[in-house]
Amino acid sequence: MKEYMQRMGRSLMLPVATLPVAGLLMGIGYMIDPNGWGGDNLIAAYLLKAGGTILDNLGILFAVGLAIGMPKKKDGASAMAGLVAFLTPLSLINTNSVAMFTKVAPEKVDVAFSYINNKNVFIGILAGLVAAALYDRFCEVKLPMALSFFSGKRLVPIVTVLSMSIISLGLLFIWPTIYNALTAFGKSIISLGAVGAGLFGFANRMLIPTGLHHALNNVFWFDLAGINDIGNFWSSTGTKGQTGMYMAGFFPIMMFGLPAGAYAIYKNSRPEKKAATGSLMMAAAVASFFTGVTEPLEFSFMFVAWPLYIVHAVLTGISMFISAFFHWTAGFNFSAGLVDFVLSLRVPIANKPYMLILQGLVFAVIYYVVFTFMIKKFNLLTPGREEGVGEETPDVDDPAEDKFVAMARKIYTALGGKENVDTIDNCTTRLRLQVKDTNNVDQAKIKATGVPGLKVIDGTNIQVIVGTEVQFVADAMNRIHSGAPAVVVAPVEKIEEVVVTGPVERDIYAVADGKLVSITEVSDDVFSQKMMGDGYAVLPTKGEIFTPISGTITNIFPTKHAMGILTDTGIEVLLHMGLDTVSLKGEPFELFVEEGQKVSRGQLIAKVDLEAIKKAGRKTDMIVVFTNADKVEKLTVKTGNVQANDVAGNVLNK
């Protein structure tokens, strides 16, 4: 659970990072035109609309952000699932839809459903988490052949819609009950005076993650229960010292307390992460102080350090109680930031508003001390304290870094980086790279990474032979090239290395009818020079392809022209059907096996259209390579015409 919450907190940083600028834009627009809200000033209207682009769509941002960041198998396709997950309840349980389902007029539908909208953070977080979980579960599911188009990533949005439809059905009954219960709670504490204000402040902050704080806000700020704190304050009607009591206590928190908490988070961040943490905390603190937009700060620690957020809610309640008890009042139209505080000073009903500044300074000290104590005492993973390497650490080998990522970084750097690399592609065993100039490639550094070899094709094309796991290196390099984190998805099922202690399967069968040749006769340097390992090839006369050895299909290349087989004794076998057939996009190949399937030697695993390969100008060599040559002591290859069930050679264990 701890790791899950940390991952959730990190994922929320993506949408949270967009919030400070939105708060500032709206704050400046509101400061220019506080009465007309853009209606009296074109610049103010433009700024308010620009900021509202983000703040009015918080639910969508959180849904997509979590859907991207939470899955264990990182892929941008999960964002689509997050968006679909969010849109489903918005379509099913908004006011108009509920009116249609219940056959009543929209104005008679429970007001709770009017808050199922783009701003609803609770729906956004729920949608993002559901989409992420479903992406991990279904992104690699393979459906029967008739439905194969909908397999894998395409299946995720479909399952997501079905799941969120069921969840929406539950919310149809639960949402108004919770909303109305909170409204009733708000009405019940009206008579408690300063204590009621304190309870409202605490509950308001605690409900922020769900979006249900609006239920309480309506009771105290508008005319739902006869209080209308905002309307009465700005019209200067009501009772001096009481009107505004449900707003005043927020000013010390948003202008002073939270910014001081942000400073504590920055001070307690790791040295290598202070710069990144400082920029986030500074932007969030400025937004909170000037405009009262607190989401950037609160969501940065709400989940990764939830005890701290509870303390924040308690301190907000205490601040509300103190200001109400001493009858210090001020009000806001937008939020409890400096802009609204200055504007409220000219309202006659405001009572001793400057005392809120003194209260705020005291709360700044309290927030800094309490946050610092709790972060250190309980080792709370606030921003900048999360485990992992900081962004500003030097580019050195990290023993914890994925081996494919490490190799990708070194190869990419040796290729000349972004200035020299144009495109990155791969086939079954090699990186196929287009660069601006192969003379700028440091071949020695590439070889030093431990790759079997490289091949310069011409002045702009180069191939680096990696092995059957080349896909993971290519994926990491593409992410580095695009500027994204070089996160590599590990194989679905890790197969532990088998130590050879006894006799292995000695008979290696030919893969097809035809002429058996030594691998040195294959017209591709990568194979003929044994860069990938020793082996053999068959020049086929028939298109039926058989397994050369018993084992498990570990991977099948997307274009179907190659696959890997792992024997029970740990020998890795690569079957490569044809030369340069990756460009044929799988059309000549019909496979009868799938990844993870156990196969027996001599089993029919594919049919190949040999004529289609020849017509495309490619060679039909069926190549078998033993890629972990350290486990192969001797391979004797018989040449000449063979049948598929003829022995091609013998493999002996070391």
User: What CA–CA distance (Å, rounded) separates 528 from 609?
Assistant: 24
Which helix (H) or strand (E) segment holds residue 526: the answer is helix 525-528
Cα 331 to the center of its chain, rounded Å:
39
Contacts of 550 (CB under 8 A, 6+ apart): 505, 567, 568, 599, 600, 601
**Neighbour count for residue 310 (Cβ, 10 Å):** 14
User: At which residue do the structure tokens 């059905």 appear?
Assistant: 169
Contacts of 94 (CB under 8 A, 6+ apart): 113, 114, 116, 117
User: Tokens standing for 526?
Assistant: 């990568």
What does each C-alpha distance from 495 to 354, 404, 567, 652 come to in angstroms? Answer: 68, 16, 11, 22
**Neighbour count for residue 447 (Cβ, 10 Å):** 14
Q: What is the dihedral of CA 262, 264, 269, 273, to 10 degrees?
A: 40
User: Tokens standing for 84?
Assistant: 């679909």
User: What CA–CA distance (Å, rounded) separates 314 from 206?
Assistant: 9
Write out the DSSP string of 35-47: TTTTSS-HHHHHH
User: What CA–CA distance (Å, rounded) separates 325 from 198?
Assistant: 10
User: Tokens standing for 321?
Assistant: 């109680």
CA angle, 574 then 575 then 577, to 5°: 140
> Given the DSSP bridges, would you call strands 589-591 and 598-599 parallel, antiparallel or unpaired?
unpaired
CB 44 within 8 A of CB 29: yes
Contacts of 603 (CB under 8 A, 6+ apart): 546, 547
Q: Which of 213, 214, 312, 576 is catalytic?
A: 576
User: Tokens standing for 349?
Assistant: 């009903």
Active site residue 427: yes
Active site residue 327: no
Count of all residues that appear for the chain in the document: 654
Contacts of 485 (CB under 8 A, 6+ apart): 479
Q: What is the dihedral of CA 351, 354, 359, 364, to 10 degrees?
A: 140
Q: Which of 139, 427, 481, 561 is catalytic?
A: 427
Directed axis angle between helix 155-188 and helix 213-221, to 10°?
30
Q: Which residues of 496-534 are buried (b: 16+ CB within 10 A; e: fewer)?
A: eeeebeeebbebbbbbbbbbbbebeebebebbeebbbbb
Q: How many secondary structure helices (H) and strands (E) does the chain include?
A: 24, 17
Q: Active-site positions?
A: 427, 576
